[in-house]
Amino acid sequence: MEESDPAARVFLDELWAAEVAPGFEVPGWFFLRVRRHAEKLTGLDEAETATFGRHAHDLLSAVERVTGAPAVYLLSFGENFRHFHALVAARGEQVPPESRGWALPRLLAEGRDIPAARALAGEVRLAYEEIGRRREHASMR
């Protein structure tokens, strides 16, 4: 993932990255991942723990703003991929009730659309950057 396509990336800093993950190219789905190896949320160091919430908040806000989804999920299981990451997934109105919540990842196969997912990543990147600029501007007041 460290060598992911920049077009699929929302952001990359010294501790965290968010991008459309290979194999998970559903429009509105992104992985928020720690860059160094940590297997669980409890494996994060102090700096990673201190910055996780802000990145998660801003990424979910950006996805919500761009997609207009009524729900944006933050899911982390950590059993199949032994590296801490969270799936941020927009859930649209068209998703039937039986596929909402914990069942949403079952829609991966039918929802994959690589070009649309990457195009949306660019829009989410711009919204994410705008959210950060507004926060910086507000803190300077």
Q: Which domain holds residue 123?
A: 6-140
Asked if residues 101 and 62 have their Cβ atoms less than 8 Å apart, the reply is no
Model pLDDT for residues 104-133, shown as the tens digit of each residue: 888 888 899 999 999 999 999 999 999 999
Q: What is the pLDDT of residue 1?
A: 61
Q: Is residue 59 part of a domain?
A: yes
Cα(76)–Cα(81) distance, rounded to whole angstroms? Answer: 10
Question: What is the CB neighbour count within 10 angstroms for residue 13?
Answer: 10
Cα(108)–Cα(63) distance, rounded to whole angstroms? Answer: 17
Residue 64: pLDDT above 90?
Answer: yes
Q: Is residue 1 part of a domain?
A: no
State the total domains in the chain. Answer: 1
Model pLDDT for residues 22-36, shown as the tens digit of each residue: 999 999 999 999 999
Share of the chain above pLDDT 90, in %: 71
Residues whose CB is less than 8 angstroms from the CB of residue 6 and which lie 6 or more positions away in sequence, other chains included? none
Question: What is the pLDDT averaged over residues 83-101?
Answer: 91
- Which residues sit opposite 17 in a β-bridge? 12, 33
Share of the chain above pLDDT 70, in %: 99
Q: What is the mean pLDDT of the chain?
A: 92
Model pLDDT for residues 8-27, shown as the tens digit of each residue: 999 999 999 999 999 999 99
CATH number at residue 85: 3.30.428.10
Instruction: Name the DSSP class of 12.
Output: E
